[in-house]
Each structure stands twice: as C-alpha cells, then as structure tokens.
Amino acid sequence: MGCIARLGCLILLAVLAGIGWVTRDLWLPQRFRDHTPRAASTKPPVWEPLSDAGAERARTALASLGQRQGPVFQTLSGADAASYIIHELSAQLPASTDSVEAMVAANHVALRGTIKLSDVGGAGALGPLAAMLGDRERVQLTGTLRVVQPGLAEFKIEDVKLHDLSLPRPMVPALIKRLERGRRPGGFGAASPLDDDALPVPIPRSVAEIRVANGKITLYKNVN
C-alpha cells in the first residue's frame, strides 16, 4: 500500500505541475515571463537605396583604419559599403546607370540599377536575349568582394540578370568589358590582378581583408 500511495502522489504532483505550466501567465510574475526563451528572429535581406551620405560614412570608416591608433576593423551596412563601391566605380560604369540599390545576403553582395542597353552593346552584345528586352532595363550583379592587392579590391561577379533573365556565365566577362569605360587597373607587373569577371574597387592601402556575412561588410586593417 505504501508503494501505491507514493506512486499516486507522484502522479498527482505531475498533474499539478502540468496545470501550473499551462496557467503560468495567470500567476508567474511578468519579470520571469520576460526571460522565457524565444526563437531568434532573423530579418530577411532587403534592397536598400544608395546615398551620398552612405558613401561618406563608408569613406570615414575606411579612413579610420589608416590611423595609427585607429580600430583594427570596421563593419559597414550593405547599403553604405555599396554606396562607396558605386561612387568609386562611377567613372567606369555607363553614364545612364541610375536607381541603384544594394542587398547583402549571406556572403554575397548584390547591386541592381537601370541602364540603357545601348551602353553595353545592345543587341550585338546580347544576341537572342535582346529581343526580349527594352531600351532600358534593370541589371542585377551578384558576387563577392575580396582584396587583390594593397589599394585594390574586386567585385567578382557570379551572376548577372537583365530584367529577370540570367546571363550564361561565359557571357559575364564580355559584359564586364562593355560596362567598364575606364582603363582596367594593372598589377605590379604588366597583367591585371583582377579576374576577367570582376569590377575593380579602389580601397585604401590600409585595408587588408574584406568579409561579408549576416548583411554586413567588415573591413580589417593591415597591421603589418
């Protein structure tokens, strides 16, 4: 009988504990309810417009890396970093480029804007795709950032979309050549250090590394 009684008590305690948990909002103090673990929320990546103010914030952050007593890294929003990139590329991109936006997703950076297709060779450069496009179209470039040598980074493009059409990868280097209006930067030797499918991004020589993650772009100081 003693064993049965103890078992009955355990069952009763379990039932009471279950009732208490279900009704905890009625009796548990607010300060303890606030500490109940909740699932972490992650914001999906969104397109952000570029701005002169964003480019200036990025420029200030980059300059601080060059200071002797400055920070060893700086983290920028995708829009601020992209504003700086587009400002640095403005002399090379087609003059018709406008309405540029940026998005950082995972470890990739995406830029999109509208251009005149005639600025990239029109039908002669796009072949059969040109028949499905208008005079002005939105171009989206998605890729990665990396430092290739002191003072120079590259935006290596892995995907190009015109309107909603993805270009075949073999066409990307040819499109890059048509997008660039200026002379392609050279390396320390005769050959350019840039990949054929990349756009050059001038950066301060104090930047040693660029990492892209979680919607942010982090630049690390050259401490050598």
In percent, the amount of the chain with pLDDT more than 70 equals: 69
Residues of the domain holding 166? 48-184+193-221
Asked, for residue 10, whether it belongs to a domain, the answer is no
Q: What pLDDT, on the 0 to 100 scale, is given for residue 110?
A: 92
- pLDDT tier, 191 (very low <50, low <70, confident <90, very high otherwise): low
Look at residue 94 and tell me if it is in a domain. yes
Does residue 55 belong to any structural domain of this protein? yes
- Whole-angstrom Cα distance, residue 6 to residue 140? 71
92 part of a folded domain:
yes
For the purposes of burial, counting CB atoms within 10 Å of the CB of 33, is it exposed (0-12), middle (13-18) or buried (19 or more)?
Answer: exposed
User: Could you tell me where the DSSP H helices lie in the chain?
Assistant: 2-22, 24-27, 30-33, 52-65, 78-89, 122-126, 172-179
Domain membership of residue 138 (yes or no) is: yes
Domain total for the chain?
1
Q: Is residue 211 part of a domain?
A: yes
What percentage of residues in the chain have a pLDDT greater than 90?
Answer: 25
